[in-house]
Amino acid sequence: MKVKLGIVGFGGMGKWHEKNAIRVKDVEIIAICDINLDKIVGVEEKGYDIYESADDMFAKADINTVLLTVPNHLHKELTIKAANAGLNIIDEKPAALNVKEFDEMMAAVQENKVFFTVHQNRRWDRDFRIVKKLVQEKELGEVFTIESNLHTANGRIHEWHLYKKYGGGMMYDWGVHLIDQAMQMMEGAKLLSVFADIKSIINDEVDDYFNVALKFDNGITYHIELGTYFLKYQPRWLAAGDRGTVYINTFACDGGIARTSELLNKLPAQIAETVAGPTRQFAPQPAGVLYDDPLPEVETEWTDFYKNVVAAINGQEEQLIKNSEVREVLSIMEAAFESSETNQAVLFS
Ligand SMILES: NC(=O)c1ccc[n+]([C@@H]2O[C@H](COP(=O)([O-])OP(=O)(O)OC[C@H]3O[C@@H](n4cnc5c(N)ncnc54)[C@H](O)[C@@H]3O)[C@@H](O)[C@H]2O)c1
């Protein structure tokens, strides 16, 4: 069966999907809806059916699947409406604003026996795939810490993202991706606790900074830090094990794996006088002791998301973005908000 798609919300992300979804065999875009018809520009010659109301589109368009690219507070309402209209659903992230909303959505999805998935596209990011491969294949030895950083100097957040009632803030915008990546990379390990600091630095209502520490039973603490007001950035990734440290500076995957031929067991015999004062532990390494290996190649193609949606709707593959995973990430986001409020770690059993 072809996925006959109707897109609801034709802003930034709706337009991006329109451009990219049609590259996939067996996905055909039939209709586009936006409450603001001025947004539906640039696709006039493509012959899509245009709607101003999602209710109308769900009732009248010749579609079997909807893609929800509307602001975050509308995901629940439109998912339930689409499910009740018997339509399969691809929801943008965050799937919902909390676990309670998500459970209500899943009840409608199950009752109507429709397909539901969430566009967690950052699982296909090359930088993430490289670190995941290195960690899971033990290329860094026993990993003890992972830092996933996202720093920008752009400061202010824009449009509806500025307001709580629309599901604004950076935890809903990017936190959901970064926590989803963490849970994918830590596959097989048990999450023990979440400790978080979430705050607003220069925006009035919503978070524009967060630091979340996820502690796992495999000995790894996974640190996620995002800020819109860093004027100097940490590397996007830094993950250290007892046989190497991977660093990736930016999404362009400039970085390497730092290794040593003398595995940290040869401290200089004498105390060295350094700028930091007398030290052996923190003395500089002799020349040639540290070297870099190149990052591994990884194959990753974002359109695999849509290919999997088509196959899963047709019962040929299991869906890649599982609803149980989506629910777990939402529960971790809730725990992070709670931890930040209470100044306590939230324990997971
Ligand atoms: N996966 C990703 O990488 C990624 C990236 C950006 C945004 N997103 C997600 O995509 C969604 C949309 O974000 P965006 O940046 O495109 O926002 P946007 O503001 O650019 O677009 C939203 C559009 O929805 C329309 N709209 C609002 N209410 C509507 C309704 N009831 N019916 C129909 N249309 C309606 C608006 O007029 C607007 O054109 C959000 O959930 C966001 O989190 C995902």
Q: Which atom of ligand 1 is nearest to the CA of 68?
A: 11
Nearest ligand 1 atom to the CA of 36 is 37
Pocket test for ligand 1, best of 40, 66, 70, 117 (most atoms within 8 A of CB): 70
Nearest-angstrom CA–CA distance, 38 and 320: 35
**Is pLDDT of 62 > 60?**
yes
pLDDT of residue 215: 98
DSSP 96-138: -SSHHHHHHHHHHHHHHT--EEEE-GGGG-HHHHHHHHHHHTT
Q: Which residue has the tokens 């995973």?
A: 325
Q: 0.95 exceeded by the pTM?
A: yes
**Coil vs helix vs strand at 314:** coil
Fold match, 3-119 / 123-253+295-299+331-347: no
- Domain layout of the chain by residue ranges: 3-119, 123-253+295-299+331-347
Q: For 88-127, what is each residue's pLDDT tens digit? A: 999 999 999 999 999 999 999 999 999 999 999 999 999 9
Which of 101-105, 129-133, 301-305 is the least confident region? 301-305
Residues contacting ligand 1 via CB (< 6 Å): 8-14, 33-36, 39, 54, 69-72, 74, 92-93, 119, 121, 159-160, 173
| Mean residue pLDDT across the chain | 95
CA of 328 to the centre of ligand 1 (A): 23
Do residues 175 and 161 lie in contact, with contact meaning Cβ atoms separated by under 8 Å? no
Q: Which CATH superfamily is domain 123-253+295-299+331-347 in?
A: Dihydrodipicolinate Reductase; domain 2 (3.30.360.10)
Domain 3-119: CATH architecture, name and number where available: 3-Layer(aba) Sandwich (3.40)
Q: Which two tokens stand for residue 135?
A: 């960690």
Q: Give tens-digit pLDDT for 1-22.
A: 999 999 999 999 999 999 998 8
Index of the ligand 1 atom closest to the CA of residue 172: 43
Contact status, residue 73 vs residue 166, Cβ threshold 8 Å: yes
- Distance between Cα 187 and ligand 1 center (Å): 30
Q: Are 17 and 67 in contact (CB under 8 A)?
A: yes
In the chain, how many H helices and how many E strands?
9, 17
